[in-house]
Amino acid sequence: MEPLVDILIEDQRWQDILPALAERAVAAVLADQGLSPETFEVSLMGCDDARIQVLNAEFRAKDKATNVLSWPSQDLAAEDEGAAPEAPEPFLPDERESLGDIAISYDTCLREAEEQHKPMAEHVTHLLVHGTLHLLGYDHIREGDATLMESIEVRILDRMGISDPYEG
């Protein structure tokens, strides 16, 4: 069977860190949400600030670098603020369904980890969990949605042995 995370490494600094972190983070999110890793997949691009800035400008009209971007395959978002999104459903048996795409920038992740005095691996894991939750319809634009999404992130990260990224 195909891997859970299909990874494109555009920035070679990701080569030794991203594959192991991505599989673990995506699997943890799926397990938390009661979804089978054999049923879904995520496409992930490890890039640099220049590349993610272009993507951020093109898709979000924000001409600046960011840490992570997500493009869900389906709109699963809940209509009611603070409500859980719809669960994705696979189309074909014995084939993985794409949840969508994630891009993550090495430069911004490294800078944020250093500024926040966090290990790079923990910060990247948090951002991969965050991005995967976006693919599943979670968001943080409305306050109730942000509270729900952050509490799920904290729960998943705690299970992975990573402290609350929003603390302090």
In this predicted model, what pLDDT tens digit does every residue of 150-163 receive, in sequence order? 999 999 999 999 99
Domains and CATH numbers, the chain: 5-86+93-159 (3.40.390.30)
The whole-number pLDDT of residue 92 equals 76
Helices (H) and strands (E) in the chain, counts: 5, 4
pLDDT tens figures, 25-65? 999 999 999 998 889 999 999 999 999 999 999 999 999 99
The whole-number pLDDT of residue 3 equals 65
CB distance 44 to 22 below 8 Å? yes
* DSSP line for 36-53: -TTTEEEEEEEE-HHHHH
Mark the binding-site residues for Zn(2+), compressed into ranges.
Answer: 130, 134, 140
Q: What is the CA radius of gyration of the chain?
A: 15
Over residues 61-79, mean pLDDT: 97
Mark the binding-site residues, compressed into ranges.
Answer: 130, 134, 140
CB distance 144 to 82 below 8 Å? yes
Band the pLDDT of 2: cuts 50, 70, 90.
low
Q: Alpha-carbon distance 140 to 64, whole Å?
A: 19
**Can you tell me which residue has the tokens 């949400």?**
33
